[in-house]
Amino acid sequence: MAGKIKKMIDKIVEERSKGNKALVGLTKAKIAMKGIIPDQFTETSADDPVVIEKLTNLAKDLNINL
């Protein structure tokens, strides 16, 4: 299922920022510090199990249900 990573990133950013544009940038930076560049992924990007695991762990750390 292509695009799962993009959906996960969007969900994390949405839940964490709650519409605050400053927090959008900070959340994307936090994701980037985990080695995942948020803008690199699109709806057609292949799903990498390693990246999905990193995002799942990050969401768990942030108390976000994916």
pLDDT digits (tens, 9 = 90+) for 4-59: 999 999 999 999 999 899 999 999 999 999 999 999 999 999 999 999 999 999 99
| Exposure b/e, 13-23, CB count within 10 A at least 16 = b | beebbeeeeee
Cα distances from 38 to residues 2, 59, 62, 66, in angstroms, run 15, 14, 17, 16
Residue in 62, 18, 64, 14 with CA at minimum distance from that of residue 38 = 14
Is the pTM here over 0.75, yes or no? Answer: yes
Residue 1 has pLDDT above 70, yes or no: no
27, 12 in Cβ contact below 8 A?
Answer: yes
